Amino acid sequence: MTRISLLTSTDPIVAAFGATTVDRSALTKGRAVVGAPNFLQSSTAFRSSFRAMTNIGDYVEYEEVLSSGTWSLVLETVTAASGGSFTVSVDGTVVSTISTYLASGGGATRTELAALSIPTTGKHLIRLTVVAKDAASSATTCRISGYTMTRTAA
């Protein structure tokens, strides 16, 4: 099982996320946890980070500081004939499964997960985990371009 991880605080992903902290204890566990610098009252900036996960069980995690309320999560992925499926979980609860398989062609795709309930203000962990291969797919590859979160209700 391969896990995505940040190696140093100067990693380009830290700069892309505008993060001020990296949980270094997480690096020994093989996962990336990127911390947002402030409480977010209405939305996150687009978190741009191309990640390709190729095996079932691969995952990437993002830590966001969110206000309590209802949020929309828009994920940008890349579809392809080699696409697999991944789950999206918030604080350990799976909220959706997304397929990145497309028989021919492919390209950027946006998927919105509306009405995500965030019960408390504070740090929340978003985890994307490769879980399956489409029956017609040539592989389980999941390519994540980035995401945006928007608070839609208090």
> Domain spans of the chain?
12-153
**Contact predicate 95/89, CB 8 Å:** yes
**Contact predicate 35/47, CB 8 Å:** no
Angle CA(54)–CA(103)–CA(135) in degrees, nearest 5? 60
Model confidence over 64-79: pLDDT tens digits? 888 899 999 999 999 9
Model confidence over 86-97: pLDDT tens digits? 999 999 999 999
Model confidence over 29-50: pLDDT tens digits? 333 434 443 444 455 556 666 7
The CATH architecture annotation of domain 12-153 reads: Sandwich (2.60)
Identity of the amino acid at 111: T
Residue 85 is predicted with a pLDDT of: 97
Please give the residue that has the higher pLDDT: either 113 or 146.
113
